Amino acid sequence: MPDRIRIATRESALALWQANHVKSLLEVAHPGLLVVITGMTTEGDRNKRSPLSQIGGKGVFVKELETALLEDRADIAVHSMKDVPSELPPGLQITAICEREDPTDALVSNQFQTLQALPAQASVGSSSLRRRLQLQLARPDLSYRELRGNVDTRLRKLDEGLYDAIILASAGLKRLQLSSRISQRIAAEVSIPAAGQGAVGIESRSDDGEVNLLLDSVNHQPSYDCVSCEREVSAGLGANCNLPIAAYAELQADKMRLRAYVSDETGKKFIRLSSAGTRDNGTEMARNLVAELLSRGADKLIQAR
């Protein structure tokens, strides 16, 4: 077994929290293991002005980390799973997923406690088309605007009065000890989360057997099963960050519920479906749900972009 693990991570506060969390889990599971964190800046970090859809989708947050893996400059890469494209480069795999944090979207506002309490034409900031279009169904009278940057930047823009409310991931706020900023956790019935939201994943080389064996000790199987099903939906629809697609799986004992949403870019045409089954049948359930979405015209909504 290796006595040293090199972690590649983005350098944002949240990404470093995630990398240090994985470091701690590995050190507890493998006493004496030296875990080294290497911070990297991705294209998604460098370009904070352009919408993600214009600079390559969510893959812009992981490409440099994956290159470090493929060039053997790192042994593992730690990601927020919602940023990981459904298709990985050849030779890489998601080997472990840590226990998932709260997967919901969060409304953050200094004046209003709920989405319904916002006055007509209030400005709501979010970088996610998935979030904006789903919230638009509940509150079509609000003004939804693009908002990029790390968590601190987005909160600062809210505090400066540039927005009446912003939408962030509940998990990120909780991990950064900012739970007090959450005005409302938005239920999945209103906004289905992105595939993998709230989950920290560990990517490694497929042929690195020793490292992959070490990672077994930090894998949380229920979270892995749920996120895998969600990513199966994303993969089946050819999803990336340019598309308003959501997939969310929940486990209760051995029962799994899977919800999915797909929309055109306006949000006026959309499909929202759910299915239920057993945990050990999750992959088949996800594929059946994809087939149902496609039979109802999901491919036409996606191609309309």
User: 260 has which bridge partners?
Assistant: 247, 273
Helix (H) or strand (E) holding 289: helix 282-295
> What is the Cα–Cα distance from 262 to 100, expressed in whole angstroms?
23
Of 203, 218, 237, 219, the C-alpha closest to 88 is 203
- Please say if 83 is a catalytic residue: yes
Residue 55 has φ and ψ, to the nearest 5°, of: -115, 10
Of 71, 68, 80, the C-alpha closest to 38 is 68
> What is the Cα–Cα distance from 131 to 144, expressed in whole angstroms?
10
Which of 75, 83, 105, 225 is the catalytic position? 83
> What is the Cα–Cα distance from 111 to 120, expressed in whole angstroms?
14
As annotated, the active-site residues are: 83
